[in-house]
Each structure stands twice: as structure tokens, then as C-alpha cells.
A and B are shown apart, each in its own frame.
Chain A
Amino acid sequence: MKSMIRFFVQRLLSAITVLMIVIVIVFMLIRLTGDPAAIVAGDSATTEQIQKIREGMGLERPLPTQFGIWFGALLHGDLGESFSSHESVARLIGDCLEPTLALALCTIFFAVIVAVPLGTIAGWRHGGWLDRTLMSFSTLGFSVPVFVLGYILIWLVSLKLGWLPVFGYERLSDGFVPFIRHLILPSFTLSLIYIALIARVTRAAVSEALIEDFVRTARAKGLSEWRVLIQHALANSAVPIVTVIGIGLTLLLGGVVVTERIYAIHGLGDLTVSAVLDRDFRVVQAVILLFSVTCVLMNLLVDLTYLIFDPRIRY
């Protein structure tokens, strides 16, 4: 119990440290790279306009004060106001949250139910032709960029076969069937690299577990191969698998940006790219922060699942 609490506190502290560093990095990014006011104002702005923006942003104050004000607002959920639409950034993000969340969750679900069985089989048949085929596909998965795969799928499934809509997003409140029909292609596109990653780690962990003594014991006492594989090899691979799902989340959220752009889904990724093109950096900053915080928190959650999966930490 004591070690459990120590483990929990330790992970929590390190997550908070990383969170603070992410917040400082995101704050500094725009200030380290030249005059933020000039960047915001654009190329055609006059000196007076830039000066006005500088005052509006509070840039003439010392850096720690600026950070204090910004961070204080952040803690209240106040992300400022968009430069171009003058809407609250928090509201803009709120409006785009559903599509991104749906896409990400659907992708993770799909990736896990495909990758874990594939990786388990590959690890079980380590070195065999099935393993080599699956691993070649995994290398292919790392190599085909999201946007290339996306267009191949659109061309094949939507344009040639006409099975699924080409692009767009339907809200869940407008019915489950159109919602899921619009999500199938984007999720499949986005999941490929995630599948490749999870399958590789699962394979390595399972094949490593299979040469352990407890597996030999399990086989010796006459357990079926199936139960050996699931109850012993896979169960003992849970820690690396959930870890890579957590680590891969950064990859996934990066891929969301590109995928939303391919399929014209107006989610957070699409919002970010539009904001970058509009030089609306407050919005970009907020989305980066949101994505990074999500990654850190999810990885903290993953750490905490070790308590379930790895009894050695519990005792």
C-alpha cells in the first residue's frame, strides 16, 4: 500500500512538472521567435498598428508578469480572444471539440482491436512467415503518410465504389448511422500508423513473455495454447502495450490535424491549420496546449494502470 502511494505521488509530481514545462514552452514559443506583435499584425501593418497590438497584448510588461497574467487566466479557463474573429478562444475550441474527440476515440478503439490480436499472433509465431508478413505491413504502415493513404481510400472507397461519403462530419445528435459512416474512412486512415506501432510492441512483448519460465510451467501443466497465449503471454504484456498506446497519443493527435484537413472535418486540427494560415496564434497556442495537456494526462493515466496490470508495483 505504501509503495502504491509512493508510486502514485511520484508519477503525479513528474506529470505536473512536465505540464508546467509544456505550459512555459508554449508561452515562450511565440515570444522567443521575434516580436509577437509584428507577427500578429502581419507584413502590411504600420508601426502604430503594431504598437497598439503590443499594448493590447500586454507585451511591454516584463516577461514573468506576462506569464503570471497569462497563466492566471489559463487557470480560469480563459484562453483569450481570437485575433481574427474576436471570439473567445475557449468557445472556438468548444465548438470543434466533438469531431476531434469522436475521430480520436474511434481511431484508438479501432487500432487497439486490430493491432493487439495481430501483434499477439506475430509474437506467437515469432520468426515465421506470418510474423514476417505482419512486420512488413507494419513497416509499410510507418512509411505511407496519412494524407497519401487518405486519398487512396477516398478514391477507392468513396469515388470508385461509392460506399462511403467522401468527406465531412455528421454530429452524433443527427443520428448514429451517418455519424459512423463519416468516421469510418478518417479513423481507418489515421489508425494505420497507430496499428503499426501497437502491433510491433505487442509482438515484442508477447514473444518475450513466451520464453519465460511461467509459460513453460503453464504449458507443462497442460493448459491449452490459447489460454497460455491470452492468460499468460498477453496478460504479462499489458504494461508495454498500454504504455505505447499512451506514447502513441502524441502521434495520433498530430495525425488528427492532417486527417481532418483531408476529410474536411471541422475539428480542432482544422481549426489550428486555419488559424495558422490566418496568423491567429492565440488559437494555435491554445490548441497546442490542449493537445499536449491531454497527452500528459493520458500518460499519467497509463502510469496508473500499471497498478492494475503489474502486481509488483502494488506490493
Chain B
Amino acid sequence: MHDISDSVVTTILFPSSATAVPGAWRRLKRNWSVRLGGGVLIFFALISLFAPWLGVVDPSWLDSGNINRVPGYSGSFALPSGENIARTFWMGTDGSGRDIYSRVLYGGRISLVLGISVAALSIVIGLTVGLAAGYVRWIDGIVMRVMDGLMAIPGILLALFLVALWRASLETVIAAITLTEIPRVARLVRSLVLSIREEPYVEAAISVGTSTSKLIWRHILPNAVAPLIVQATYVCAVAMIMESALSFLGVGLPLDRPTWGNIMAEGRASFNLFPHNVFIPGAFLALTVLSVNMLGDGLRDTLDPRFGRRGE
């Protein structure tokens, strides 16, 4: 009985409250920032996904006969099987004779998996924390102060410390970076909850006795989707930079994993003679992060013009 009246009231009085911004998809497809960012990102995702079919060799195999080859060098490459093949090193080789092209493609897998995992985890956990804080007063007081405390600690230092304590692996790096990103998401969700609760249609829904869970599903979440998607892209971008920074500092994933940060960290030693070892993975990283950020900017502009980025 109560349920019926409630949903009737909701649909008649507030038809738009639970629907997405009208025409969002069409505007999205027209936005050049979304097109370019999304396109480049899909390109990077595809080449790292299909890396094994793109003429790569084992990314961790070292050929001592091909140390520090400059990009474009053609020569013979000794495979793990002992066989010699003719190969052009489009991106050169590093100080141990590993093929940079193969390493960079496989490195893309790690960066993308990590970026997406951190974004998804931070959004899910941040959403839960933010909803709880927005709804339950005593949780709000405690949890948001803890979030303030976490945010006062420079993210990279916190991640550095945690990864060193836990020993670096893909899981611990993801967990450490996620922890530094949760507070921002939680704050965003909390402020969304508080402002949406002030809206007349939500007050009306509360006054007709809508349950909290229904309120969250029908009003809060649909309104939070757009800002959260945008936030997720920024978290993803920051996470990829942070992972590389950790590797670069020597505390990230083990050196035998070909991450962009690791390739750069190893390339530092002979940087003045062979800068390609640093520049090529660096360019891949910067371009990927740039495409994620452009996608985020475009999404923000099309999905919700009111929603600003980083305090804007």
C-alpha cells in the first residue's frame, strides 16, 4: 500500500529525478574532448590487450648482444630458444638488452588494469563511506575527520609507506593507492547527498514516507552517477601516475614486471647517452593519462555542467 502510493507520487511529481540528463549520449558523441580522449584510450587499450600479436618478443628476455640499441636499429636478436631472428628495434633496447617496444606494450596492461581497478575500488568504497556519512550523523563526525586526516598526508608518501610495509605486488600497490583516493570520493559523495537532500523533490519524497534505501536508489544514486563517472576518470589518471612514480622511486612493482615506471627507473642510469629508455615509456604514460583526463573533462562538460573539477 505504502509502496504503491510512494512510487505513484514519485513518478507523477518528479519524473525527471531518476533519469539521466536528457540527450547526454548524443552530446557526448559530439564532444571532441570525449572523442579524442576516448579514441586514444581505446587505441592504447587495444594495443596492450593484443600485444602478443603485435610483433613483440618476451618483454623480460635479455639478449646480451643487443644492449642499449638506439630506436630504429636493425640487427639480429637471440630468442630464448637460442634461435636468431632479424629484428628492427623500433624503440631500441635497454641497458640489459631487452626490447623496449615489447616492454612498453606489456607495461600498458599493468597501467590500465591498475588505473581501472583503483578507480572502481575507490568509487565503490568512497560511495559507501560518503553515503554513510551523509546519512548517519555520528558516522559523519568520525569518518569525515579521519578522511580529513588522510587527505592531509601527501598521497605519494602514504602510498610509498604502505607499499614498503606490505611488500610490493600488484594487489598491494592497488590497495595503497586506493586508500589515498578514497577520501576525495567520500567527500564528493557526502556533499552530493547533503545537497540532494535539500532538493524540494527529495523533501517531498521524504514527507510521503519514502524509505531511506529507496531514496538512495531512486534519487541520490541517479544524481551521483555523472559526477562519480567524472571523478573515476580523474582517480584513474592519478593512480596511473602514482604507480609509475612508485616504480620510478624503486618501491613499486618488482623490477622484473615491465611497468612504465620500472622501464624509466632502469633507464635513468644511462639517461645522458640513451634517453629513449626514459622518454618512450614516459611518452606512453603521459599520453595515456592525458587521454583519460581529456575523457574526464569532456564527460564533465557534457554530463553535468554544474559539476566542477578540483575545486572549480
Residues of A within 8 A of B (CB): 17-18, 21-22, 24-26, 29-30, 33-34, 39, 139-140, 142-148, 151-152, 154-155, 159, 166, 197, 200-201, 204, 240, 243-244, 247, 250-251, 253-255, 257-258, 261, 272-273, 276-277, 279, 281, 284-285, 287-288, 291-292, 295-296, 299
Contacts and interface: CB of A to CB of B under 8 A. Distances in A.
Given A253-B154, A254-B154, A288-B153, A147 B148 contact: no
Given A18-B149, A21-B148, A145 B289 contact: yes
A25 B150 CA distance: 8
Given A204-B308, A250-B152, A257 B244 contact: no
B248 A33 contact: no
A4 B272 CA distance: 57
A244 B311 contact: yes
Interface of B: 145-146, 148-158, 160-162, 164-166, 237, 241, 244-245, 248-251, 264, 271-272, 275, 278-279, 282-283, 285-286, 289-290, 292-294, 297, 308-312
State the main secondary structure of chain B at its contact with A: helix
Given A33-B165, A147-B245, A25 B153 contact: yes
A25 B151 CA distance: 11
Q: Which 7 residue pairs of A and B lie closest in terms of their CB atoms, listed nearest first?
A: A21-B149, A254-B154, A148-B282, A143-B290, A254-B156, A143-B289, A204-B312
Given A240-B311, A296-B152, A151 B275 contact: yes
30 contacts: A17-B145, A21-B148, A21-B149, A25-B146, A25-B149, A29-B165, A34-B165, A140-B290, A142-B293, A143-B290, A143-B292, A143-B293, A145-B285, A145-B286, A146-B245, A147-B245, A147-B282, A148-B282, A151-B278, A151-B282, A152-B279, A155-B271, A197-B310, A251-B155, A253-B154, A254-B154, A257-B249, A273-B250, A287-B157, A295-B152
Contacts of B156: 254-255, 257-258
Contact of A21 (B145, B241, B275): B145
Contacts of B312: 200-201, 204
Contacts of B153: 22, 25-26, 250, 288, 291-292, 295
Contacts of B275: 151, 155
B92 to A, nearest CB: 15
A296 B297 CA distance: 29
B249 A258 contact: yes
Contacts, number: 158
Contacts of A292: 149, 152-154
A184 to B, nearest CB: 19
Q: Taking each of B153, B158, B245, B289, which has the highest tally of chain A beta carbons within 10 Å of its own beta carbon?
A: B153
Contacts of A166: 272
B248 A143 contact: no
A211 to B, nearest CB: 15
A279 B166 CA distance: 11
Contacts of A144: 286, 289-290
A257 B285 contact: no
Nearest to A21: B149
A147 B248 contact: yes
Contacts of B164: 276-277, 279, 281, 284
Contacts of B264: 147-148, 151
Contacts of B297: 139
B33 to A, nearest CB: 9
B245 A258 contact: yes
Nearest to A203: B312
Contact of A295 (B146, B154, B278, B289): B154
B285 A148 contact: yes
Given A25-B149, A257-B154, A281-B161, 19 more contacts: A17-B145, A18-B149, A21-B149, A26-B153, A29-B162, A39-B165, A145-B245, A147-B248, A148-B282, A151-B278, A155-B279, A200-B312, A251-B155, A276-B161, A281-B164, A284-B157, A284-B164, A291-B153, A291-B154
Contact of B311 (A201, A279, A287): A201
Given A21-B145, A143-B237, A145-B285, A243 B152 contact: no
Contacts of A22: 149, 152-153
Contacts of A21: 145-146, 148-149
B152 A18 contact: yes
B311 A159 contact: no
Q: Taking each of B150, B157, B278, B294, which has the highest tally of chain A beta carbons within 10 Å of its own beta carbon?
A: B157
Contacts of B155: 250-251, 254
A258 B248 contact: yes
B271 A273 contact: no
